């Protein structure tokens, strides 16, 4: 019995020690960047300028989000590289250029780990700027933590519907690189009306991103008097669409929309192609954002004549008011990251950096509320390689409209090309409707 | 409810309850376990003054709660529920739905979280008829079914479906932290009680042999269902606290299989059937997880994987057993 | 008093006028798939008396005990205890009524100490005797604080017996308690059984291969073969019956 008591005491002591060691080891790794940043966060314009502006972010090195998170992270790193090469970012509060220092952790696609690491960035590293990881799921924990710590969250691509409700009364979030997904389908609805589509089938993943689009489609199409004869959600993990395709074929719709994540879109397009079933208009989400990868998986014949959202790099903005234009970005980024194909996530990460730069250049101090005011003051006043930047009072991105694109066979015949077909003002080609 | 001949906690003939309490405090092992619980509460109550990353502390506490839940289910009754996270998610959604749709306060919301997970546990209790891996897999399927139910667009009016939960109406960092500490205290106290009560003895008897337990007069079905419900209530409480702290989450976050796996590994590593095992297991493994996750993320999977292999090979009964045998040798 | 049973039923009753019918197994049949484990078996036992169940392996002895203690359900027939139909009741309810058993392979609660093993049964089985008394009686008092898996095979058998006795049974089914014991241990356990049976008025239903053990506990036996009762009467008579001898030599 005596032994047991001793055991308990020792184990508890050990536990406390382990906890203490854990925290101290973390602090040592963080001190190098924390020392300069603490004063900046506290003092702003009052004190001397900090040696560096610390930017903290997370990336998913492994797990289900790695494929999208890593390119976005590359884009952010590239932005830091570019800024520091030019002597730093202009900070209005000190009226001078200050170098950017990036602190980043790997959340391994886990939300609870991400939560701990976001807190780490704020409370231990005292970052001046907090940027979230890719997508809504990994951004979600940051929303609360940022609010709790009164730290502005630069949400790169988390378009989560609940993040930007007016009822949240949350002044600590801005969405930098994507419009909220609920406004994505607006140009597509207009295009479908223009070609005379009457009957539409929609299947979508049961997740925030896809469901928000599906509901916008449903309402938008109804407002235009277009019938939605099939509207069904599938679990996000679904990769089998064969029976659904048969069911939809029986309804003989003019248009068949599949709204999913990249893996869903690839599976759907492959199975649609091998089923031999044809629809005049087939729409999926990701071929426009990540063309080379989707085409490698689906094949050019499976992609041909389907539609998607037109996003950079297919959507070309070569003379933005801030940052690099698309073609100079492509050249510089490809040599920086040793890549041959850039995709939308690379651009989104870079674009988020440009928005941070606008915040620094226009905020009266480095306080988080001033940073937000700095961003909001620029709504509608600048454009980047994605397009014109616009933000509502809840911090949601309302600029960067995504046009409709069609994957038309390239002249060589063995590949497809993302061709913008709507709106007319941005079109780079003419739609082939119905698909042959 | 209980028939005359069916009690959950029997009486030893000829012992008054007062005697039993005195007897309990004479038991060094009980005093040790009670001390562990108190120290634990103390550490976390003042935790925020030595660790600024409160979410790290919350995650630690939540994993301790879950590991203790696994401890009750597996350590005391021998059922290993891979889908244990289902109760965690049920608790989180009980909290989210009651506060954001029915506008109850945060504290009734925590109770609602526990109630929801208990109801789920009762609905799933027929699964206890399955044994071993069949049970583990069936519980996993049940958790999967739950997440599909919650994220289904038809359930959107209640759960907000795939759009996830947002508890901004009750958001309160201070109170939610304190509640998590209290929750951990309650859960640890419950495990201390289980270990030292006749009820806990009955559970361990059932785990060792069902037929012998039944012939000892133990109502096997009732007792193990009650333990299952206690275990689920723990996970539900943990889920409700986590939901309150994190406030914004998606169905996939609170029903993530990784959560189950972590809780199971932490409990097994520390040693099941003990009070201190799951606590130590969580502190050490989650501590290492965070330390290497932050310092050398590139080697994370390698180090963590090796560690687990080592545990399974060399310390199959957990750290607590290792500690006990070391002290055993030293005292000889 | 007690209605006279038909002649084919085994009755273990001494002076019939003083004993009270405790257990009545009425035409019980048990099927495992297509295998008939028990075929229309009837057995009676009076309070405080002992009855041996013998027969070759697979003749249905353990199955009969399993039916009586609620671990196996009978396809046909009834089990009456104290003239009350208890067929199909859960084992723990039967334990509360006063039916208990030991197992052919003892199943102590591993991870619990010997004392805790007995304690849990005393508590949940609503026994009236103290844990210490039971431990002393079964000579386990010296190993009370040991973990039950550290016991020798003989001690585990005694622990199983102690666990059963601590629920204050009126009927104790004993399944091959003698197997694997040394001669001196056999003597000790047999004496123990007779002692509790006489002192506490416990009726015994004893499954046993070892005739030497059996004859120390009871003189009355029922012989089972292939799920059927082929003989009932005294052990001495049984061993003179040609069909009984053939069953045993053949098996």
A119/B55 CB distance under 8 A: yes
Q: Chains that contact B by 3+ CB pairs under 8 Å?
A: A, C
The token pair that represents C221 in the structure block: 């036996």
Same domain, A307 and A406: yes
Place of tokens 């609602």: B112
Residues paired with residue A201 on neighbouring β-strands, in sequence order: A230, A256
Smallest Cβ–Cβ distance between C112 and the set B201, B215, B221 belongs to: B201
> Which letter does DSSP use for residue C3 in this model?
P
Q: CB of B161 within 8 A of CB of B151?
A: yes
Query: A310 with A357, same domain?
Result: no
Give residue-wise pLDDT tens across range B150-162: 988 888 889 988 8
Instruction: Note the pLDDT tens digit of each residue in A198-255.
Output: 999 999 998 889 999 999 999 999 999 999 999 999 988 888 999 999 999 999 999 9
Among A106, A140, A209, the strongest candidate for a mutation testing the B interface, having the largest count of B CBs within 10 A, is A140
Q: CA of C69, closest CA in chain B: separation in Å?
A: 8
Asked if residues B97 and B156 have their Cβ atoms less than 8 Å apart, the reply is no
Tell me, yes or no, whether A341 lies in a domain. yes
| Domain end call among A377, A393, A416 | A377
Q: 3-class DSSP state for residue C71?
A: coil
C11 has pLDDT over 70: no
Nearest to C122 among B12, B212, B221 (CB): B12
Give yes or no for residue B23 having a pLDDT over 70: no
* Position C236 confidence tier, pLDDT thresholds 50, 70, 90: confident
Distance from CA of A147 to the nearest CA of B (A): 10
Domain identity same for A68 and A158: yes
Q: What is the pLDDT of residue A168?
A: 81
* DSSP conformation letters of C106-170: ----TTSBHHHHHHHHHHHTT--S-HHHHHHHTT-GGGTTSBGGGS-HHHHHHHHHHHHHTT--S
Kindly tell me the burial class for residue A205, based on how many C-beta atoms sit within 10 Å of its own C-beta (0-12, 13-18, 19 or more). Answer: buried
**pLDDT score of C251 more than 80:** no
Residue B103 resides in a domain: yes
Please check the confidence at residue A301 and state whether its pLDDT lies above 60: yes
pLDDT at C2 over 50: no
- Could you tell me the two tokens for B58? 């919350």
> Could you give the CA distance from residue C112 to residue C125 in angstroms, rounded to a whole number?
17
Q: Which residues of B touch A113 (CB under 8 A)?
A: 289-290, 293
The DSSP line for B164-218 is -EE-TTT--HHHHHHHHHHHHHHHHHHHHHHHHSHHHHHHHHHHH-HHHHHHTT-
CB atoms within 10 A of CB A169: 11
C151 band by pLDDT with thresholds 50, 70 and 90: very high
What is the Cα–Cα distance from B327 to A317, expressed in whole angstroms? 71
The domain that holds A156 is classified in CATH as 3.40.50.2300
Q: With beta carbons less than 8 A apart as the criterion, state whether B265 and B257 touch.
A: no
Is the bond leading into A232 cis (omega within 30 degrees of zero)?
A: no
Assigned domain for B101 exists: yes
Nearest CA distance, B219 vs chain C (angstrom): 6
Question: What residue spans define the domains of chain C?
Answer: 1-98+171-251, 105-168
H or E segment to which residue A155 belongs: strand A153-155
Q: What confidence score (pLDDT) does residue A4 get? A: 44
Q: Specify if B322 maps to a domain.
A: no
Do chains C and A touch, with touching meaning 3 or more CB–CB pairs less than 8 Å apart?
A: no
> What integer pLDDT is reported at residue A9 of this predicted model?
42
Taking the C-alpha atoms of B34, B36, B39 and B41 in order, what is their torsion angle to the nearest 10 degrees?
A: -80
| pLDDT value for A11 | 41
Specify which of A303-307, A336-340, C235-239 reaches the highest per-range mean pLDDT. Answer: A303-307
Tell me, yes or no, whether A283 and A342 share the same domain: no
- Residue to mutate among A2, A27, A111, A235, with most B CBs inside 10 A, is A111
Q: What is the pLDDT of residue C8?
A: 43
Reported residue count of chain B is 332
The beta-carbon neighbor of C92 closest among B198, B214, B273 is B214
pLDDT, tens digit, for every residue of A372-404? 999 999 999 999 999 999 999 999 998 888 899
In a domain, B41, yes or no: yes
Chains near C with 3+ CB pairs less than 8 A apart are: B
Contact indicator for A8, B276 with CB cutoff of 8 Å: yes
> Are the C-beta atoms of A176 and A158 separated by less than 8 Å?
no
**Which residues make Cβ contacts (< 8 Å) with residue C61, sequence separation at least 6?**
C53, C54, C55, C175, C207, C224
Asked whether residue B261 is domain-assigned, the answer is no
> Chains A and B: how many Cβ contacts under 8 Å?
201
Q: What is the pLDDT of residue A99?
A: 97
Residues of B in contact with C93 (CB under 8 A): 5-6
Q: Sheet containing A227-234: give its strands across.
A: A227-234, A199-205, A255-259, A281-283, A307-309, A404-409, A416-422
Phi, psi dihedral angles at C12 (to 5 degrees) = -100, 85
What gap in Å lies between CA C92 and CA C105, rounded to an integer? 20
* Cα torsion through A226, A230, A234, A240, rounded to 10: -120
C167 to chain B, any CB pair closer than 8 A? The answer is: yes
- Residue owning tokens 């099941």: B272
Same domain, A355 and A372: yes
| List of residues 6+ apart from A226 with CB closer than 8 A | A189, A192, A193, A197, A198, A199, A200
- Look at residue A40 in the predicted model and tell me its pLDDT: 43
B60-118 confidence digits (pLDDT tens): 999 999 999 999 999 998 899 999 999 999 999 999 999 999 999 999 999 999 999 99
Are residues A155 and A88 part of one domain? yes
Mean pLDDT computed over C60-80? 94
Test the C interface: residue of B7, B13, B216, B222 with most C CBs within 10 Å: B216
Closest of A76, A107, A65, A57 to residue A337, by C-alpha:
A76
Establish how many alpha carbons lie within 13 A of residue C234's alpha carbon, considering only the half-sphere containing its beta carbon.
6
CB–CB of B171 and A147 under 8 A?
Answer: yes
Strand partners, A173: A153
Q: Is the Cβ–Cβ distance between B235 and B88 less than 8 Å?
A: yes
The average pLDDT across C110-139 equals: 92
Question: What value does the mean pLDDT of chain A take?
Answer: 87
Q: How many domains is chain B built from? A: 1
Whether A215 and A247 map to the same domain: the answer is yes
Distance from CA of A276 to the nearest CA of B (A): 30
Length of chain C: 251
Confidence band, pLDDT 50/70/90 cuts, at residue A313: confident
Q: Which CATH class is domain C1-98+171-251?
A: alpha beta
Residue A74 has pLDDT above 70, yes or no: yes
Q: Taking CA B322 as the corner, what is the angle to CA B317 and CA B324, rounded to the nearest 5 degrees?
A: 110
Rounded to whole angstroms, the Cα distance separating B28 from A1 reads: 6
* Same domain (yes/no): A250, A362: no
Owning domain of residue A307: 182-314+402-426
The ipTM of this complex is 0.87
The dihedral formed by the CA atoms of B123, B126, B130 and B132, expressed in degrees to the nearest 10: 40
Question: What pLDDT sits at residue B11?
Answer: 55
The whole domain housing B194 covers 17-256
Give the pLDDT confidence of B170-183 residue by residue, as tens digits.
999 899 999 999 99
Quick one: pLDDT at residue B226?
Answer: 96
Sign of the torsion formed by the C-alpha atoms of B121, B125, B131 and B136? negative
Residue of B nearest to A59 (CA): B297
Query: Does the structure show a pLDDT above 50 at A28?
Result: no
Residues of chain C neighbouring B212 (CB-CB closer than 8 A): 103, 107-109, 160, 163
Nearest-5° angle of CA A31, CA A32, CA A37? 80
How distant, in Å, are the alpha carbons of A304, A319, A384, A418, C161 from that of A316? 21, 9, 11, 11, 87
pLDDT tens-digit readout, A151-189: 999 999 999 888 998 888 888 999 999 888 888 899 999
The confidence score (pLDDT) of residue A325 equals: 95
Strand order in the sheet with C84-85: C10-12, C35-46, C21-32, C76-81, C84-85
List pLDDT tens digits, range C24-41. Answer: 999 999 999 899 999 999
Residues A146, A173 contacting (CB under 8 angstroms) = yes
Number of B to C CB contacts under 8 A, please give it.
102
Look at strands C76-81 and C21-32 and give their pairing. Answer: antiparallel
Does residue A2 form part of some domain?
A: no
User: Is the separation of the CB atoms in C116 and B29 below 8 Å?
Assistant: no
Residue at token pair 């972010």 = A57
DSSP code string of B259-302? HHHHHHHHHHHH-TTSSHHHHHHHHHHHHHHHHHHHH-GGGHHH
Residue C206 neighbours by CB under 8 Å, 6+ apart: C50, C51, C52, C53, C173, C174, C177, C193, C214, C217, C218
Task: Tell me the pTM.
Answer: 0.84
The residues in C 53-92 lying below 8 A from B, measured between CB atoms, are 69-71, 90-92
Number of separate domains in chain A: 2
Q: Which residues pair with A57 in a beta bridge?
A: A104
Using the Cβ of C221 and the Cβ atoms of chain B, whether some distance falls under 8 Å is answered with no
Question: Shortest Cα distance from B22 to chain C (angstroms)?
Answer: 18
Q: In sequence order, what DSSP letters do the residues of B21-85 get, joined into one string? A: HHHHHH-HHHHHHHHHHHHHHHHHHSHHHH-S-HHHHHHHHHHHHHHHHHIIIIIIH----GGGH
User: What pLDDT shows up at residue B327?
Assistant: 58
Q: Give A55's strand partners.
A: A102, A129
Tell me, yes or no, whether A406 and A420 share the same domain.
yes
A10: left (phi over 0), alpha (psi -120 to 50) or beta: alpha
Tokens of C52: 């041996």
Alpha-carbon distance values, B226 to A12, A218, B118, B133, B219 (Å): 30, 47, 10, 21, 11
Strands C84-85 and C99-101, sheet pairing: unpaired
Rounded to whole angstroms, the Cα distance separating B121 from B78 reads: 16
Those of residues 272-301 in B touching chain C at CB distance below 8 A are 273
* Mean pLDDT computed over A146-152: 93
Q: Mark whether A336 and A274 lie in a shared domain.
A: no
HSE (side-chain half, CA atoms, 13 Å) at A220: 20
Q: Which token pair is B148?
A: 């599909």
Chain B residues whose CB is inside 8 A of the C103 CB are: 211-212
Q: Where are the beta strands (DSSP E) in A220-379?
A: 227-234, 255-259, 281-283, 307-309
Token pair 């990881």: residue: A133
Query: Phi and psi of A134, rounded to 5°?
Result: -60, 140
Of residues A321 and A2, more confidence is placed in: A321
């Amino acid at each position: 019995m005596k032994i047991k008591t001793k055991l308990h005491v020792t184990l508890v002591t050990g536990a406390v020690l382990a906890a203490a060691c854990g925290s101290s080891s973390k602090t040592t790794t963080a001190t190098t960047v924390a020392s300069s940043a603490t004063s900046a966060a506290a003092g702003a314009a009052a004190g001397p300028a900090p040696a560096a502006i610390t930017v903290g972010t997370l990336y998913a090195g492994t797990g289900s989000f790695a494929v999208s998170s890593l390119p976005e992270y590359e884009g952010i790193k590239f932005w830091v590289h570019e800024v520091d090469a030019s002597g730093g970012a202009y900070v209005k509060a000190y009226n001078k250029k200050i170098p950017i220092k990036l602190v980043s952790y790997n959340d391994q696609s886990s939300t609870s780990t991400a939560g701990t690491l976001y807190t780490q960035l704020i409370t231990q590293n005292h970052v001046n700027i907090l940027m979230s990881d890719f997508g809504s799921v990994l951004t979600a924990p940051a929303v609360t933590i940022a609010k709790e710590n009164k730290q502005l969250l630069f949400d790169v691509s988390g378009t989560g519907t609940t993040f930007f409700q007016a009822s949240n009364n949350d002044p600590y979030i801005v969405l930098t690189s994507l419009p909220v997904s609920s406004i994505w389908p607006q140009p597509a609805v207009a295009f479908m009306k223009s070609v005379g589509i009457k009957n539409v089938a929609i299947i979508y993943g049961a997740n925030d991103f896809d469901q928000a689009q599906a509901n916008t489609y449903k309402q938008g199409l109804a407002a235009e008097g277009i019938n939605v004869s099939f509207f069904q959600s599938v679990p996000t993990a679904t990769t089998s669409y064969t029976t659904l395709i048969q069911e939809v074929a029986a309804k003989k719709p003019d248009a068949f929309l599949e709204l999913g994540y990249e893996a869903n879109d690839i599976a759907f397009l492959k199975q649609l192609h091998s089923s031999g079933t044809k629809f005049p208009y087939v729409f999926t989400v990701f071929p426009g954002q990540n063309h080379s990868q989707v085409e490698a998986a689906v094949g050019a014949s499976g992609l041909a004549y389907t539609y998607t959202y037109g996003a950079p790099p297919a959507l070309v903005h070569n003379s933005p008011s801030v940052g690099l234009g698309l073609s100079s970005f492509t050249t510089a980024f490809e040599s920086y990251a040793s890549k041959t194909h850039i995709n939308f996530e690379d651009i989104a990460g870079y674009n988020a950096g440009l928005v941070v730069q606008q915040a620094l250049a226009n905020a009266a101090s480095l306080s988080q509320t001033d940073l937000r005011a700095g961003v909001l003051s620029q709504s509608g006043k600048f454009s980047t390689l994605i397009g014109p930047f616009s933000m509502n009072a809840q911090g949601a991105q309302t600029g960067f409209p995504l046009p409709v694109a069609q994957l038309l066979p390239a002249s060589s015949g063995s590949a497809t090309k993302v061709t913008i077909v709507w709106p007319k003002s941005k079109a780079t080609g003419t739609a082939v409707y119905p698909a042959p | 409810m209980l028939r005359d001949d069916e009690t959950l906690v029997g009486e030893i003939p000829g012992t008054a309850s007062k005697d039993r309490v005195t007897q309990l405090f004479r038991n060094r092992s009980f005093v040790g376990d009670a001390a562990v619980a108190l120290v634990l509460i103390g550490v976390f109550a003042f935790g925020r003054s030595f660790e600024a990353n409160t979410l790290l502390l919350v995650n630690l506490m939540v994993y301790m709660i879950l590991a203790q839940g696994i401890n009750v289910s597996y350590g005391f009754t021998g059922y290993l529920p891979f889908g244990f996270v289902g109760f965690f998610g049920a608790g989180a959604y009980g909290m989210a739905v009651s506060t954001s749709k029915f506008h109850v306060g945060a504290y009734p919301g925590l109770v609602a979280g526990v109630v929801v997970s208990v109801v789920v546990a009762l609905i799933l209790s027929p699964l206890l008829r399955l044994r071993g891996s069949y049970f583990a897999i069936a519980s996993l399927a049940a958790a999967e079914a739950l997440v599909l139910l919650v994220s289904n667009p038809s359930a959107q009016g209640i759960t907000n479906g795939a759009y996830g939960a947002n508890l901004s109406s009750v958001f309160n960092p201070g109170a939610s932290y304190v509640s998590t500490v209290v929750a951990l205290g309650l859960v640890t106290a419950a495990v201390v009680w289980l270990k030292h009560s006749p009820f806990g003895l009955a559970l361990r008897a059932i785990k060792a042999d069902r037929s012998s337990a039944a012939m000892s007069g133990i109502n096997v079905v009732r007792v193990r269902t009650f333990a299952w419900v206690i275990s689920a209530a723990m996970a539900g409480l943990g889920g409700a606290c986590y939901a309150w702290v994190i406030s914004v989450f998606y169905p996939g976050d609170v029903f993530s299989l990784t959560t189950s796996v972590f809780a199971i590994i932490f409990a097994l590593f520390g040693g099941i059937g003990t009070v201190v095992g799951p606590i130590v297991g969580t502190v050490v493994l989650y501590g290492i997880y965070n330390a290497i996750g932050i310092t050398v993320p590139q080697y994370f999977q390698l180090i963590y994987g090796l560690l687990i292999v080592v545990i399974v090979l060399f310390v199959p009964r957990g750290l607590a057993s290792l500690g006990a045998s070391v002290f055993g040798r030293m005292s000889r | 008093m007690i209605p006279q049973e038909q002649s084919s039923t085994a009755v273990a009753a001494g002076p019939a006028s003083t004993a009270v019918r405790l257990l009545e197994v009425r035409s019980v049949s048990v099927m495992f798939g297509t295998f008939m484990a028990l075929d229309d078996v009837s057995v009676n036992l009076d309070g405080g008396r002992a009855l041996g169940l013998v027969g070759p392996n697979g003749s249905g002895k353990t199955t009969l005990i399993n039916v009586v203690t609620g671990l196996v359900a009978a396809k046909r027939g009834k089990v009456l205890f104290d003239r009350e139909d208890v067929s199909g009741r859960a084992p723990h309810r039967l334990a509360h009524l006063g039916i208990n058993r030991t197992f052919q392979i003892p199943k102590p609660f591993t991870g619990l100490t010997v004392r805790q093993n007995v304690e849990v049964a005393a508590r949940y089985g609503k026994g009236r005797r103290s844990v210490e008394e039971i431990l002393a009686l079964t000579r386990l008092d010296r190993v009370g604080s040991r973990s039950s898996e550290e016991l020798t095979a003989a001690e585990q058998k005694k622990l199983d017996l102690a666990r059963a006795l601590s629920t204050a049974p009126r009927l104790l089914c004993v399944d091959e308690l003698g197997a694997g014991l040394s001669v001196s241990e056999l003597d000790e356990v047999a004496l123990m059984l007779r002692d509790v049976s006489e002192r506490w008025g416990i009726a015994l239903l004893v499954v046993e291969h070892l005739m030497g053990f059996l004859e120390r506990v009871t003189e009355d036996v029922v012989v089972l073969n292939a799920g059927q009762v082929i003989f009932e009467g005294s052990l001495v008579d049984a061993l003179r019956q040609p069909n009984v001898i053939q069953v045993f030599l053949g098996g």
